[in-house]
Chains A and B, each alone.
Chain A
Amino acid sequence: LWIVITRLAPDDPEFASPLQAELERVRTQRIQAEQRRQAESVGNMDALLEAEEDQFALARELHETRLELAEAFALMEAIRRTKFHRVTTKLRSLYFRRSADKGGELLPGSS
């Protein structure tokens, strides 16, 4: 096809030139668009991958925070179950009634 074009074009330069110019223009546009598409494709992929990494990090942080929270509750529960805590329940309730120090009341089920 290209051979036909190049052979025919010189026969009618006035007609062929504008078309050839048009062809070149569209082709250049197409190549540029393809380059743009490729660049954007890479950009999109990188953005998505980065967002996934960020979200994974956030999820992990949430998971770890909840683990810490569970540990904290476990510790409170363990303190509540100690013999010391149990045998001093009465003592503490008497003490706290007279004191502004409310720390002991913060334990669930301590009263």
Chain B
Amino acid sequence: VINPQSAPEDPLSEMVTKEEELLASVEQQRQRQGTAAARDLCAYEERMVLLSDRLELARVELAEATERINSIYRTRLYRYSRHLRAFYFRNRTAKLEVEAEKTDEEVWSREPELPYALWVETYDTLTDADRSNLAHRVAQLSEPPLISVLLPVFNTPEPYLTAAIESVRGQIYPHWELCIADDCSSDPALAQRLEALAREEPRIKFTRRETNGHISAASNSALALASGSWIACLDHDDVLAETALAHFALEIARTPGLGALYSDEDKISETGERSDPFFKPDFDPLLLLGQNYLCHLTVLRRDLVLEVGGYREGYEGSQDWDLALRVTEKLAANQVSHIARVLYHWRIHSGSTASALTAKSYAAGAGTRAVADHLARCGAVAEVVPLEAWGWNRVKWSVPDPAPLVSIVIPTRDGKYLTSCIESIRRHTTYPNYEIVVVDNGSTGREVLEFLRLNESTINVVRDEGPFNFSAINNNAVALSGGDVICLLNDDTEIISPDWLEEMVGQLSRTSVGAVGAKLYYDSGLVQHAGAVLGIQGVAGHALRLSERQSVAYQGRTQLPRQFGAVTGACMVIRREAWDEAGGLDSVNLPVAFNDIDLCMKLRAAGWQVVWTPFAELTHHESVSRGPDTEGERALRFGREILYMKQRWGVALRSDSTYNPNLTLTHEDLSLAWPPRNLVIE
């Protein structure tokens, strides 16, 4: 029964209440982002002070050293003996230079001043206050998880084994147990030492295998000793960071429902110098098919490990990859957490896979089999092709049968490369079912018009006489096209890989994938696009732009398919369903720039994955048709588009989960971030 007196009140009151709730939510969001930014800036400032102090110290030392050198030059003996020295030591300068070079090398080998060393010194060196803060946080955990560290050993050099064990014993987090399994080492003294260690420290358990069973069997022996709810596997010559288990425990407590966690890692030399950090993206199942990027340190729920049967024999060398695949396929992506901190140091020495894959050549074959098994278990129609040079895999996803129609949409206005673009598609493309839609945005050149007229029987030509608005032009063309799959393609591109469309549509065949990007090269052959990272220079930038075609920089970042925050619209394949859901490109706010980035962000916000593949290769004569956006009205428009992106996406632009907070947002080279964006421990 509706009370007539209250009827008018209800809808209006509801709206007022809703508006008030929205207002409160906006205010909360505003305060949260303000607090977060202030907190980050404070942390930055602390490091600025630290760096400034060190700079001051270095300057003082440099001034002193310079003064010493000058004082040598000023000595009377030095001055008076100039001619004498010139006479007796005619080749003095050469000798000095040679000796100086030698000395230089010695100085470097004694005190390497490489940027990563400085980064570690500045951002990854614990103070007593850091230790006590972390210990305090850990002590506050109501149910601290017991973490069993598995340590299979076999003929391990004593210093490395001691370092590995001591790195566990030195953990800030106290709730651990170390499960050591000796795989029947030839030196009995090693087992005796470990037995003695187990007697001395109750948290250390030890077993010795009767026969040598290799790494999987030995890991299972260690696993059998474990009683913790979580397991972590430590290689017998590697080292855990002092904070490793504390960070894992805090993350486990903070995020209920996790099944697996992993951290970033770096290498450690025989003399303990750290190098070659690997800052990873958040969990990316696609990348995990190409390489075991989780590797170290991975922490897994023990019940899940037992459920899948532990480590499999026959996969030695990639047993951890195989286990990671079998565990993670039982989890949702949000049940796998990434701790973006270097918590594991991988020893480089002559026999470790850290130094070269060939050191354990059997690892690569086992990795390929592990991935093939995983795909079979998941019912995926795909083929695994080993990339032998690097020990990685390429997964070739099958195109659905029948192959969906792909509408290749190419906007142009007197495109200088339009003819070669379309001819390269026709000449190279092996994909069986595609249509080309050219949107002519007011071409006047006779050559282009003639080309379009002559090819009108095989190309759908759409006339769009409006002002240049890349988003609107594409949106209109897509609306007129008929494909279930859309391919946005710039008119200044040329196809290189014949199976580019098979590869891109194949990637799209997985239902979670909304859009796929390609690998683009400049005319010089250097990489123009290998995925876009959000936040670089404010909005987005091309990862590893200008790297070599075959570069394996950053753990093969430009050689393996993976998820990205965004991919360029210069060549983007997108499923129509996803396009419609995202509403296409934003023609109102982003008529020219960043509309592709915005589209990808909308797709990801709606739950679609955005994927990039290096196996679809094109040349991109970038911005040849339009020129750069650095002057006049174009610069103004570009500025507006940047502002819009920042306003619309805010902090999302600074937290690309496919990137890493320890990597820079000021350059495209994936160099270190100064400072990292995770200084504040959550």
What is the CA–CA distance of A49 and B78 in the complex, to the nearest angstrom?
51
Shortest 3 CB-CB distances between A and B: which pairs? A103-B75, A44-B37, A78-B100
Cβ contact within 8 Å between B72 and A79: yes
Interface string of B30-71 (1 = CB under 8 A from A): 100110010011001101100110110011011001101101
> Are A41 and B646 closer than 8 Å at their CB atoms?
yes
For the A-B complex with A41-B651, A95-B77 known, give 18 more contacts whose Cβ atoms are closer than 8 Å: A9-B12, A19-B16, A26-B23, A27-B19, A36-B30, A40-B30, A45-B646, A47-B41, A48-B41, A52-B673, A55-B47, A58-B55, A69-B61, A78-B100, A78-B102, A78-B103, A81-B103, A84-B81
With both beta carbons as reference points, the residue of chain A lying nearest to B32 in the complex is identified as A37
**B538 near A: Cβ within 8 Å?**
yes
- Nearest B residue (CB) for A107: B72
Q: Is the CB of A66 within 8 A of B66?
A: no
Q: In the bound complex, do residue A26 and residue B62 qualify as a contact, i.e. CB atoms below 8 Å apart?
A: no
- Report the minimum CB–CB distance from B94 to chain A (whole Å): 11
Query: A8, A19, A78, A79: which contacts B7 (Cβ < 8 A)?
Result: A8
Asked if B68 contacts A56 (CB within 8 A), the reply is no
CB < 8 Å: which of A8, A9, A70, A78 contacts B96? A78
Are B33 and A70 within 8 A (Cβ)? no
What 0/1 readout, one digit per residue, does chain A (25-66) give for beta carbons within 8 Å of chain B?
Answer: 011011001101111111011111101111110110111011
Q: Does B653 reach chain A (CB closer than 8 Å)?
A: yes
The answer, yes or no, to whether B633 is at the interface (CB within 8 Å) is no
Indicate whether B193 reaches chain A with its CB closer than 8 angstroms: no
- Give 11 A-B contacts (CB < 8 Å), ordered by A residue: A8-B7, A20-B12, A45-B538, A48-B654, A58-B52, A62-B58, A66-B113, A73-B65, A74-B103, A81-B99, A81-B103
How many angstroms from the CA of A52 to the CA of B40 in the assembled complex? 11
Is there an interface contact between A55 and B103, defined as CB atoms closer than 8 Å? Answer: no
Assess whether B643 is interfacial by the CB under 8 Å rule. Answer: yes
Q: Are A5 and B41 in contact (CB under 8 A)?
A: no
Q: How many Å from the CB of B390 to the closest CB on chain A?
A: 31
* Interface pair A62/B646, CB less than 8 Å apart: no
Given A1-B15, A30-B26, A45-B538, A69-B651 contact (CB < 8 Å): no
Whether A48 contacts B40 by the Cβ 8 Å rule is yes
> Is the CB of B359 closer than 8 A to any CB of chain A?
no
Residues of A within 8 A of B140 (CB): none
Q: How far is the CB of B21 from chain A (nearest CB, A)?
A: 9
B482 interface residue, CB < 8 Å from A? no
Query: Are B20 and A26 neighbours in the complex by a CB distance under 8 Å?
Result: yes
CB neighbours (8 Å) of B650 from chain A are 38, 41-42, 45
What total count of A-B pairs have CB within 8 Å?
A: 216
A90 to chain B, nearest CB (A): 12
A52 close to B23 (CB less than 8 A): no
B118 interface residue (CB < 8 Å to A): yes
Contact across chains for B19 and A26 when beta carbons are under 8 A apart: yes
Stretch at the interface among B104-112, B520-528, B560-568: B104-112
The yes or no answer to B379 lying at the interface (CB within 8 A) is no
**Chain A residues in 8 Å Cβ range of B99:** 78, 81-82
State the majority secondary structure of interface residues on B.
helix
Q: How distant is B71 from chain A, measured CB to nearest CB, in Å?
A: 4
CA distance A79 to B62 in the complex (A): 17
A residues touching B (Cβ–Cβ < 8 Å)? 1, 4-5, 8-9, 11-12, 15-16, 19-20, 22-23, 26-27, 29-30, 33-34, 36-42, 44-49, 51-56, 58-59, 61-63, 65-79, 81-84, 88, 91-92, 95, 99, 101-104, 106-107
Assuming the contacts A9-B12, A59-B674, A79-B72, asked whether A37 and B26 have C-beta atoms less than 8 A apart, the reply is yes
Q: What residues of B have a CB within 8 angstroms of the CB of A74 in the complex?
A: 100, 103-104, 107
Query: B11 at the A/B interface (Cβ < 8 Å)?
Result: yes
User: In the complex where A37-B29, A44-B33 touch, is A59 in contact with B65 (Cβ < 8 A)?
Assistant: no
A54 and B26 contacting across the interface, CB-CB below 8 Å: no
| Chain A residues with CB under 8 A of B653 | 45
| Residue in A44, A56, A62, A79 whose CB lies within 8 Å of B54 | A62
Max chain A CB contacts within 10 Å: which of B20, B100, B122, B664? B100
Which residues of chain A are near B66, meaning CB under 8 Å?
72
Q: In the complex where A15-B9, A45-B538, A103-B74 touch, is A52 in contact with B675 (Cβ < 8 A)?
A: yes
**Pairwise interchain contact B12-A16, C-beta atoms closer than 8 A:** yes
Instruction: Pick the contact of A23: B19, B44, B102, B664 (CB < 8 A).
Output: B19
CA distance A11 to B81 in the complex (A): 110
Contacts of B37 in A (CB 8 A): 44-45, 47-48
What CA separation (Å) do A11 and B13 show in the bound complex?
16
Q: Let me know if A55 and B48 touch, CB within 8 A.
A: yes
Is the CB–CB distance between B33 and A40 below 8 Å? yes
**Closest-CB distance, A19 to chain B (whole angstroms):** 4
Q: A41's closest neighbor in chain B, by CB?
A: B650
Asked if residues A103 and B72 are in contact (CB atoms below 8 Å), the reply is: yes
Q: For the complex, is B125 an interface residue (Cβ under 8 Å from A)?
A: no
Give the distance to chain A from B425, nearest Cβ to Cβ, in Å.
40
In angstroms, Cα B78 to Cα A5, docked, is: 98
Chain B residues within an 8 Å CB radius of A36: 30
- Chain A residues with CB under 8 Å of B52's CB are 58
Q: Which residues of A contact B12 (CB under 8 A)?
A: 5, 9, 16, 19-20, 23
Given known contacts A23-B12, A37-B26, A48-B654, A58 and B51 CB-to-CB distance under 8 angstroms: yes
CA distance A54 to B643 in the complex (A): 22
The reply on B468 being an interface residue by CB < 8 A is no
Distance to closest chain B CB from A30 (angstroms): 4
Within the complex, which residue of A4, A8, A55, A67 is in contact with B44, where a contact is CB–CB below 8 Å? A55
